[in-house]
Amino acid sequence: MSVPAPAAAPNAQRLLWAGFMAILAAGVGFSIRGGILGQWAEQYGFTMTELGQITGGGLTGFGIIILLSSFLADTLGYGRLMFLAFLTHFVSAVLTLLAGAAFASGGKEAAYQCLFWGMFLFAIGNGIAEAVVNPLVATLFPDNKTHYLNILHAGWPGGLIVGGLASYFMNPDGAKPWSWQFQMSLFMVPVVLYGVMLLGQKFPKSEASAAGVSLGSMVGQLFAPLMLVLLVIHAMVGYVELGTDSWISKITGNIMASPQKGLLLFVYTSALMFALRFFAGPIVHRISPLGLLCVSGILGFVGLNLLGVAESGLICVVAATVYAAGKTFLWPTMLAVVSEQFPKGGAITIGAIGGVGMLSAGLLGGPGIGFKQDYNASQELAKNAAVYERYQAATESAFFGFRVKGLDGAKVGVLGDNGKELARAQELAAKSGKPDANTEALVGWWAEASKTATEDKALVDAAGLYGGRQALKLTSFVPAAMAVLYLLLILYFKARGGYKAVQVDGSAPAGH
């Protein structure tokens, strides 16, 4: 697919699509990983807690790496950092694929180390690439940043599509899955492609660096009042987009009573995002980037509310379509606004926006939406005191001063699969000769709880579904607040003569 627009650098298109492939690689790796956790559990004897620790390594420090890399981008150069991203991605894949050999020679602990550090390096590679490709594309296409940054970030939903479909077809219900090594190797295809596309290429300096702006002046742009407002708004973007994405497939799968249908719905919304991001340019020429963002916030609010009341698969599809249309343009268009308003910030201001969004998603979005599910599910199940007492967590969950005794995930998991995973964990502990106190406690609890499991399951499932729906409704107020802030920014710029892209010298010749 070609992008019909003139560019100053002769290799601009090649660098654009190399960046696209780097982001697509992140999406493929992120999506495929979720589908192979079961195989890791079976082959290497991991518990669900250990799997959670491994996948956590794939998210640790993502936002921080973006921030740190952004401060180095103008000093080291885009080319060196992209080579480092490629090397880190490659080593992460090698380490992950060595888990089988490590298990054969060193047992479970050796396999764990391979997988944990493989996922950790995967996150670092993603963070470095993100810190480079955003300012790189803004530099390559200075007169059409919103359009090309949206095209660049079509790589993320593109990767989710590839990885999601691979997980769906290679991990069929009731049949033997494809080897996890083959599935994980798919991630290497876009990695090798972007590596080849970058060979021998000359990288431009950022607009700020080319104009001789000092590092101190670049950092100073972070403290401009408008920049601080944009940082706050993008923290909301990270919360509502990536934070919700962490839960949306699970929640919609519960609504439609099928995890596979929830996965397919996620693939569908990713495909919609992928397609729409190629049309950001014509839209912003009509309503400006801030107008697009304001409409996106409104659609996000409506879509999440519709998902919160959906009772059927059809309504889920309609609601998810509205929500996907709302979140499609948020992230890349925010990057474009920052680049257009603060070109003197170079890679630092764009990196700060991306880093804040990722940190918000990891520290606020995922945990916050999870807490809202805990709170509402426990309140619903508490209507039947005996069942709630049977499944409540031993300790309280806390989020920004709010506390609740949610449902014990381990107990709910045992109920969900009728004790199969618990029996497997007990067998693993017996073979290793190292009894696990948590497993033994669950075994004792299940011996009694299994007597009422049939009646309990209906109530616990209903409470979980209620918690998910309420969480989506409450989360919808975040894009609503964003829409209000975007409207205020539109009025602010209107009072100053309209939204215009600023050049490094401070002039504003181009309006939208």
Q: Running DSSP on this structure, what letter comes out for residue 510?
A: E
- Predicted local distance difference test score (pLDDT) of residue 431: 78
Alpha-carbon gap, residue 270 to 263, rounded angstroms: 11
- Predicted local distance difference test score (pLDDT) of residue 5: 41
Beta bridge partners, 407, equal 392
Q: Where are the domains of the chain?
A: 10-205, 214-503
Q: Which CATH number fits domain 214-503: 1.20.120.530, 1.20.1250.20, 1.10.3720.10, 3.40.50.620?
A: 1.20.1250.20
- Predicted local distance difference test score (pLDDT) of residue 508: 52
Alpha-carbon gap, residue 143 to 502, rounded angstroms: 10
Which residues, given as ranges, of the chain have pLDDT below 50?
1-7, 509-512
Query: In Å, how far are 50, 60, 181, 468 from 54, measured between CA atoms?
Result: 6, 10, 16, 25
Asked whether 453 and 418 are in contact (CB, 8 A), the reply is: yes
Could you write out the DSSP letters of every residue in 4-65? ----SSTTHHHHHHHHHHHHHHHHHHHHHHHHHHHHHHHHH---HHHHHHHHHTTTTTHHHH
Query: In Å, how far are 3, 231, 278, 350 from 216, measured between CA atoms?
Result: 36, 19, 35, 16
Question: What CATH number was assigned to the domain covering residues 10-205?
Answer: 1.20.1250.20
- Predicted local distance difference test score (pLDDT) of residue 39: 79
- Predicted local distance difference test score (pLDDT) of residue 52: 62
Asked whether 87 and 194 are in contact (CB, 8 A), the reply is: no
Asked whether 459 and 387 are in contact (CB, 8 A), the reply is: yes
Alpha-carbon gap, residue 214 to 222, rounded angstroms: 14
Asked whether 348 and 231 are in contact (CB, 8 A), the reply is: no
Contacts by 176-182, CB closer than 8 A, 24 or more apart: 177/36, 177/38, 177/39, 179/39, 180/36, 180/39, 180/40, 180/43, 181/97, 181/100
- Predicted local distance difference test score (pLDDT) of residue 482: 97
- Predicted local distance difference test score (pLDDT) of residue 511: 41
